[in-house]
Amino acid sequence: MGNQITYNKVIITLIFFISLLVLHTESIRPPFSCDSSNKVTSSFPFCNAALPISQRANDVVSRLTVDEKVLQLVNGAPEIPRLGISAYEWWSEGLHGVSRHGKGTLFNGTIKAATQFPQIILTASTFDEDLWYRIAQAIGREARAMYNAGQLKGLTLWAPNINILRDPRWGRGQETAGEDPMMVGKYAVAYVRGIQGDSFEGGKLQDGHLQASACCKHFISQDLDNWNNFSRYTFDAHVLKQDLADSFEPPFKSCVEQGKASSVMCAYNLVNGIPNCANFDLLTTIARGQWGLQGYIVSDCDAVDKIYTAQHYAKEPEDAVAATLKAGMDVNCGSHLKTYTKSALEKKKVQESDIDRALHNLFSMRMRLGLFNGDPSKLEYGDISAAEICSQEHRALALEAARNGIVLLKNSDRFLPLSKMNTKSLAVIGPKANDSEVLLGNYEGYSCKNVTLLQGLQGYVPNTMYHPGCNFINCTSAAINEAVDIAKKADYVVLVMGLDQTIEREQQDRSELGLPGMQEKLITAIAQSASKPVILVLMCGGPVDVSFAKDNQKIGGILWVGYPGEGGAAALTEIIFGEHNPGGKLPVTWYPKEFSKVPMNDMRMRPVASNGYPGRTYRFYNGPKVFEFGYGLSYTNYSYSFASVSQNTLQFKNLKVNKTTENRSALNIAVSDIGPEVCNKATISVKVAVKNQGEMAGKHPVLLFLRYCKAEDEVPRKSLIGFKSVNLKAGENTQTTFDVKPCEHFTRANTDGSLVIDEGKYLLLVGNGEYPVTVVV
């Protein structure tokens, strides 16, 4: 009898634990609709994966009540139990790794971290499209792995940020791929293809199904957050048609047309008097009509509410609902549509068909992600497991990106690299040198492993002394004497200075461009007292004016590390001690402090000679620079020459020739009048010979520029038209080929916003070499 009781207890205990296991398994199941075990709901046409997605989306929308429809128009879409439709969270972030920001990501389960790659501004400095793609691929797979593990409530990642870095003070400049529209567009395409599960070349996703969804943001001309009395919520950006056409629109056009992005986010601000999220021409005519967006359009968070409460563009809250839905927006990050769409219907400011249009796009997206096809573990991407998160492969990729992105700005008399063997002691000074979180930048997640720059250097030189130097990064107080005493005791000194997220971030633009507080004074004092020249490491997203350090002979080397991600400490240490040859190039102009006198709210790209306005970005800025776009040194020397150019004269005859509209003597032709056949025949094949003339192997990008020989304010001073990475051993040489497309690369916008090609002489530029090409019209 006793044995029977014991047996029964064992059985009951076993059943209890099995029940707990089942409950736990249920709790971590990812959200999905059309569960095949639910015979009622699985029979609906919208659950039939064999039907076209458009038909399935129409079916699900037709079954919803008005109240159910309204609740689906916001980022936190609730479940609809009677139809077996799961809840969905649209807001997740993946700028440079699966992020802890947004409402869709949970790091409270078995997955506590995700690979954190460098902040985008540093990744951009590699000028390496293949690397950009591989990083995005890794982020997309880690996102899908987190979804499969039940720790991601949606697969719509609101990245990349593809606004150009128009003004160096912008707090979110760190999130961008720099200031060049073509380059930012290339980054957008690589990122979107990687995230969504497409091939590097594109075209793999013929059926439209996605690994995850990427979102091109912030559409458009949003590059001011909080400067003086201007706020992104109310700023009316007065943008010329000319600048829209050849500066602000191109990255988004590439993101949608070539990258096949499945989402666009409309920005808070107004452009020429119209809120972006209420601009029909922008969202429907251009993004959907001209560029062919297949996907959904989301507002930035609370942007719809701001149209009413802050911009006063809408007289009533229901007017904001009507303006955005009729413009083509589909989902509101925030609660405004949940609160006021029903009353907007009752007041006849919107029709139910406006809501249905938006919902069709939203449910289509969820179906493209495979979330209406039953249990996702049995479907494509269902085998992507948590083992991929923080995998050795992904962490090695984060290190590779940091290594190849770090830019060597100064190296007097080949001061760097240091000898690991001969460096007996090191002094590391800086308020953030022993902080791992600062390495991540904003929109960060939790790192797989946290290693500070100080810890990285200590791994190479055990006898490393540390002093913060400043009280905080803003350095309102500096312990100069104490820091100098430590510096005097060391063989070499590494100064880690710059910015952090208290100084530049979302909703925090800078007011000036120098190093904050007493940092410059501290650096100068230590450099003057140290026995050998010091190394200055700059950690920042936006550029800073370090002219004082550039000109100081006691500062032997300057390295810009951006916010280098979780591999940053290892990458910096390897570069300082010569285990890796730096090859990064600046993706943005570094301006002098005086540039802060230029009003940040002035959106004009081109200079204005009559009032001394200097213009913006390397393409138009005509003032002094601390460092130029594309600048970056190496531990070796590279030489460049034009090996061959397939044609040096472009004949555009028998076409409509226009006089320029800017009171210039030159003639031009509209690209729209040329036609694709003529454009294709005009393609120039350019072969550039590259030789590593030094003693150290290295990888670096080769940048090809174009300059129009008639220097005029309306025309870019030069434009980047191609970039390729080359990896050469010491003494090795190679050739790299660029396909130059005149109908794309030789164009500029006229004052009407039309793309034209000017007649005359152009120069292809690489390194110090140039090659003339003439356009005849």
Q: Tell me the one-letter amino acid at 73.
A: L
CA distance 454 to 477: 21
The angle that helices 336-346 and 352-368 make with each other, rounded to 10 degrees, is 140
Instruction: For residue 228, count CB atoms less than 10 angstroms from its CB and return exposed for 0-12, middle for 13-18, buried for 19 or more.
Output: exposed
Residue whose structure tokens are 């770090």: 406
Q: What's at 350, amino acid-wise? A: V
Contacts with 336 (C-beta within 8 Å, 6 or more apart), sequence order = 302, 304, 305, 308, 317, 320, 321
Provide φ and ψ at 132, rounded to 5°: -55, -45
- Which residues does the annotation mark as catalytic? 300
Taking the chain, what is the end-to-end CA distance rounded to the nearest angstrom? 105
Query: Among candidates 23, 31, 26, 21, which has minimal Cα distance to 148?
Result: 31
Q: How far apart are CA 724 and CA 738, in angstroms?
A: 8
* 296: Cα within 13 Å, side-chain hemisphere: 31
Identify how many contiguous H helices and E strands the chain contains and give both numbers: 22, 30
For residue 328 the two structure tokens come to: 């083509």
Cβ proximity of 151 and 109 under 8 Å: yes
Q: How far apart are CA 701 and CA 186, in angstroms?
A: 14
- Determine the Cα–Cα distance for residues 152 and 116; give it in Å rounded to an integer: 17
Residue type, 146: M
Residue of 711, 656, 698, 699 whose CA lies nearest to 678: 656
DSSP per-residue string spanning 663-722: S-S-EEEEGGGT-HHHHHHT-EEEEEEEEE-SSS-EEEEEEEEEEESS--TTS-S-EEEE
Whole-number CA gyration radius for the chain: 28
Residue 110 DSSP label: S
Spatial separation of the C-alpha atoms in residues 318 and 340, rounded to whole Å = 6
Please give the Cα distance from 349 to 343 (Å, whole number): 9
Position of tokens 């936006």? Answer: 542
Query: CB–CB of 686/738 below 8 Å?
Result: yes
Question: C-alpha 168: how far from its chain's center?
Answer: 16
HSE toward the beta carbon, residue 718, CA cutoff 13 A: 16
Report the Cα 607 to chain-centroid distance in Å: 27
Burial class (CB in 10 A: 0-12, 13-18, 19+), 53: buried
The label of the residue with tokens 């249905």 reads 356
The set of residues, in sequence order, having a beta carbon less than 8 Å from that of 102 and lying 6+ positions away, is 91, 92, 93, 158
Q: Where are the beta strands (DSSP E) in 529-676?
A: 534-539, 555-560, 638-645, 649-651, 658-659, 667-670
Strand runs labelled E in 608-683? 638-645, 649-651, 658-659, 667-670
Q: Which residue has the tokens 């091939």?
A: 199
- CA 107, 110, 112, 115 dihedral sign is negative
d(CA 262, CA 461): 48
| Orientation angle between helical segments 352-368 and 317-327, nearest 10 degrees | 60
Is the distance from CB of 456 to CB of 573 less than 8 angstroms?
A: yes
| Residue 144 in tokens | 């899908």
